[in-house]
Structures are given as structure tokens and as C-alpha cells.
Amino acid sequence: MASCTNAIDKEVSIRDILMKIYPVTCIKVADLGCASGPNAFFPTCKVIETITRIYQQEHWESPELQVLLNDLPITTSMPYLHMFLLSMTGSS
């Protein structure tokens, strides 16, 4: 029950924010210190799901959604994502 109430509280908070900032063309969701593994994506996915659901309920035109995953640029923290990004940019 506690986690259910907590989830409802978070949805209410996100709805409150969206009501204040609407209309916007782009919403950025940032996880500062995301690491890697399930915790890197799960909370961000839940926020995106909640934003998308609220926009549908309100019949609002969907904004552009940007996800910013941030962590220290060291290979022990997020090796796979870091190596992938380096390969995409051609950096060493």
C-alpha cells in the first residue's frame, strides 16, 4: 500500500508540474549519476510513461521527450554505454 500511495503521489507531482509548464514543445528528463543497470533506466522509463499517460488523458499534443543520462566518464561506472558513445563519436 505504501508503494502504491507513493506512486500516486509521484504521478500527482508530475501532473502538477505539467499543468504549470504546459504548453511546451520539449521535456527533458535527466538522471544525474545514472550508473548502469536497471536503475539507470527504470525510473526514467516510469517518468516518461507517466508524462505520456497524462498527455493522453489531457488530449494534449505530445511534446518532444529527451532523456539525459549522466555519469562520470570512467569505464568502471558505465563501460558499455561509455564505449558505445565513444564509438559513435570516434573519440578515444
Ligand X SMILES: C[S@@+](CC[C@H](N)C(=O)[O-])C[C@H]1O[C@@H](n2cnc3c(N)ncnc32)[C@H](O)[C@@H]1O
Closest CA to 51 of 39, 62, 67: 62
Asked if 81 is part of the footprint of ligand X (rule: CB under 6 A), the reply reads: no
Residue 4 Cα distances to 7, 50, 65, 70, 85, angstroms: 5, 14, 26, 28, 36
Distance CA 76, CA 82 (A): 10
CB nearer ligand X, residue 51 or residue 78: 78
Asked if 11 is part of the footprint of ligand X (rule: CB under 6 A), the reply reads: no
Residues numbered 49 to 78 that lie near ligand X (CB under 6 A) are 70-72, 77
Q: In whole angstroms, how close is the CB of 87 to ligand X at the nearest point?
A: 21
Helix (H, G, I), strand (E, B) or coil at 40: helix
- Residue from 14, 29, 35, 67 touching ligand X (CB under 6 A): that is 35
Residues lying near ligand X in the complex (CB under 6 A):
32-35, 39, 70-72, 77
